[in-house]
Amino acid sequence: MPRTAVVALGGNAITRVGQAGTHAEQAANARAMAHTVCALRDAGWGVIVVHGNGPQVGCLSIQQDAARETVPVQPLFCLGAMTEGQLGSLLTLALHDACGGRLPAVVSVVTHVVVAADDPAFAHPTKPIGPFFDEQEARRLAAERNWTVAPDAERGYRRMVASPRPLRFLELEVITALVERGALVVAAGGGGVPVVEDGHAYRGVDAVVDKDLAAQQLATQLGVEALVMVTDVEQVMLDYGTPDARPITAMTADEAQRHLEDDQFPDGSMGPKVRAAIAFVRAGGRTAVITNSERAARSLDPAPSDAAVGTRIVAASTSLGAVS
């Protein structure tokens, strides 16, 4: 396989805070993300794009409920497949546009991710999807629709669904073959369609897999060199929100783990990304990066003048000086 990076894009990057989520808004945001991916390709990297779908799958769920008297409501894992196809198409068109015809092929693969039927996450829904509501409206919807709701990111209440740990991908061999043929692949969208083993077959389960953990598992199982998690900040911060806040340029997996244990990275913020980065490098990955779209391409091969681009997480045996 050529030098390859898995790039994780958040669903909130495609429908941004304050936006209604119209097709025009999502298409414009997808084009901005596509320029980042094209810059990595131009720098000599093969790229696999993994995207989130939290806002989109939640909004589709609301549309389903609103039309339940007219058409049958589909289960949540079906909505995940629908948004994986929709966003995969959106990103495919954006990538062709942004890369100006330089891409040999862009392929979006509807990906199924195997999870454990007895994963504790099914009993404790923690994954936010859909729009924000005030507390009164959230409680009303929870009672009407049998939802679990909870505060999220201090911006209101959202619906919470189960988010089991991703174990493996049914389409892994196909994704590998496409990358080896030079294609830019969009895969494991929304974390993938969650399924559990059912004898010799599989069945869908209602959940939304965390896209950062899915991106890490896909990167690890493919054996790629780098994992890039694109967010809305240039670098991870220690003591965020305090007068002592300071950015981190690089840290080892062990240092990142200690910061996690010190509650530096909350679950509703950088926690999932840092956990994914630790797991990736401990499983043999060379570098994990957390940064914004403007700096993602430069973060993997920084020039000396770009030493502070992004936050890089590496194995304990790696020299931080060589990657910071």
Q: Which residues are catalytic?
A: 11-12, 127, 211, 273
* φ, ψ dihedrals at 128, nearest 5°: -75, 135
Q: Which amino acid is at 222?
A: L
Q: Nearest Cα to 238, choosing from 254, 251, 228?
A: 251
Is 51 exposed, middle or buried (CB count within 10 Å of its CB: 0-12, 13-18, 19+)? buried
Find, among 5, 4, 2, 11, the residue nearest to 232 by Cα: 11
Place of tokens 């220690």: 238
